[in-house]
A and B are shown apart, each in its own frame.
Chain A
Amino acid sequence: MPLLKVDDLRTYFHTREGVVRAVDGVSFQVEPGETLGIVGESGSGKSVTNLTLMGLVPMPPGRVESGTARFNGVDLLRCSRAEHRAIRGKRISMIFQDPMTALNPYMRVGRQIVEPLLIHERCSGKEARERAVRALETVGIQDAPRRLLDYPHQFSGGMRQRVMIAMALITRPQLLIADEPTTALDVTVQAQILELIKQIQSEMGMAVILVTHDLGVIAEVCDRVLVMYAGRIVEAATTRKLFQRPGHPYTRALMASLPAARKKGEALYSIKGMPPDLTQPINGCPFAPRCEVAVPRCQSAAIALREFREGHETACIREQEGELP
Chain B
Amino acid sequence: MTKFILRRLLSFIPVFFIIVTMLFFLIRIAPGGPFQGGERAVPPEVLEKLRETYNLNAPLYRQYVDYLVDLAQGDLGPSMYQPSRTVTEWVQLRFPVSLELGFYALLVAMTLGFLAGITAALRPNTITDYVPMSFAMVGICIPNFVLGPVLVLIFALKLGWLPVAGWADPLDKVLPSLTLGTAYAAYVARLARGGMFEVLAQDFIRTARAKGLSETRVILRHALRGGVQPVIAFLGPAAAGLLTGSFVVEQIFQVPGLGKQFVDAAFNRDYTMLMGAVLVYAVLILCFNLVVDVIQAWLDPRVRYG
Contacts and interface: CB of A to CB of B under 8 A. Distances in A.
Interface of A: 54, 56, 85-90, 93-94, 96, 98, 101-107, 115-116, 119-120, 151, 153-154, 164, 167
Given A106-B222, A106-B301, 9 more contacts: A88-B209, A89-B211, A93-B210, A93-B211, A96-B206, A102-B206, A105-B300, A105-B302, A151-B302
Contacts of A54: 210
Nearest to B304: A151
B212 A153 contact: no
A94 B221 CA distance: 20
Contact of A101 (B202, B208, B301, B302): B202
A96 B205 CA distance: 12
Contacts of A88: 209-212
A56 B205 CA distance: 10
A169 to B, nearest CB: 12
17 contacts: A56-B206, A56-B209, A85-B214, A88-B210, A90-B212, A96-B203, A96-B207, A96-B210, A101-B204, A102-B206, A107-B222, A115-B208, A119-B211, A119-B212, A119-B217, A154-B305, A167-B211
A105 B301 contact: yes
Contact of B226 (A102, A106, A116, A153): A106
Contacts of B211: 88-89, 93, 115-116, 119, 167
B8 interface: no
Given A151-B301, A153-B301, A153-B302, A105 B213 contact: no
B299 interface: yes
Nearest to B203: A101
Nearest to A106: B225
Contacts, number: 73
A103 B206 CA distance: 10
A85 B203 CA distance: 18
For chain B, the bracket of interface size reads 20 to 34
A116 B225 CA distance: 20
Contacts of B221: 107
Interface in B213-233: 213-214, 217, 221-222, 225-226
A301 B135 CA distance: 57
Nearest to B209: A56
A98 B302 contact: no
A222 B189 CA distance: 50
B207 A104 contact: yes
B213 A89 contact: yes
A102 B212 contact: no
A167 B213 CA distance: 13
Contact of A104 (B208, B214, B217, B299): B208
A105 B306 CA distance: 13
Given A96-B206, A98-B203, A101-B203, A106 B212 contact: no
A119 B222 CA distance: 14
A9 B305 CA distance: 47
Contacts of A56: 206, 209-210
B225 A102 contact: no
A87 B210 CA distance: 10
Contacts of B203: 96, 98, 101-102
Contacts of A93: 210-211
B217 A102 contact: no
A119 B225 CA distance: 20
Interface in B147-177: none
Contact of A87 (B204, B207, B212, B226): B212
The 8 closest A-B pairs by CB, nearest first: A89-B212, A89-B211, A101-B203, A151-B301, A104-B204, A106-B225, A85-B212, A94-B210
